[in-house]
Amino acid sequence: MNRILFSALALVSTAGLVIAAEVKSGLSAGEKPSAFNVKDITGPNAGKSLCYRCQYGTRPVTVVFTREITPEVSDLVKQLDEKVGANKDKKMAGFVVLLTDDADGGAKQLSKLAADKKIANVPLTVFDGTAGPESYKISKDAAVNVMMWNKMTVQVNEAFGAGKLTKDDVSKIAGETKKILE
């Protein structure tokens, strides 16, 4: 009887840790993304401030908000770049937003990422400030927040704490792009 009770307590305790580790961040499915400006570092508008959400309009869009450039984030950007390239016929678009208080340092990181991973289809941008655009409700606990929308309606939102994005998560997110292409 004690073993059963101990096992049940261990299971509840473990489930509590998993729930506590989840990060709630960003726009929920069904919400509408609003306009915000970024500085384009590597895209077709390099050096300019603009609103990619505005430019892409009702197209299927994937945006990665990140506070860190880790190997996993780099792999995610590469896979999303490939998805955008493979779905040009469906007018898929995407962009990456580095949330930083050091725009110059961020620009150097993004330029290196673009060169190392040969990013060709997804502009890498900088947002001035680590909080991100207020209307997007990005949690201070989210190191990476990926949102996908089509026809200006969010369909996918995934958020990860610092160091929590894994290779499996990267593959899962890349696969979720099909949800905005249907």
Count of all residues that appear for the chain in the document: 182
Q: Is residue 43 part of a domain?
A: yes
Cα distance between residue 54 and residue 21, in whole Å: 33
Q: Is residue 37 part of a domain?
A: yes
128: Cβ contacts below 8 Å, ≥ 6 apart? 39, 100, 101, 103
pLDDT tens per residue, range 129-178: 999 999 999 999 999 999 999 999 999 999 999 999 999 999 999 999 99
For the chain, how many structural domains are there in total?
1
Under 8 Å between Cβ of 130 and 100: yes
Cα distance between residue 118 and residue 77, in whole Å: 10
pLDDT at res. 147: 98
Q: How confident is the model at residue 22 (pLDDT cuts 50, 70, 90)?
A: confident
In the predicted structure, residue 111 carries a pLDDT above the cut 80: yes
CATH number at residue 164: 3.40.30.10
Q: Is residue 114 part of a domain?
A: yes
Q: Tell which wins on pLDDT, 33 or 7.
A: 33
pTM here?
0.87
Taking phi over 0 as left and psi of -120 to 50 as alpha, with beta for the rest, 157 belongs to beta
Residue 47 belongs to what domain range?
Answer: 25-181
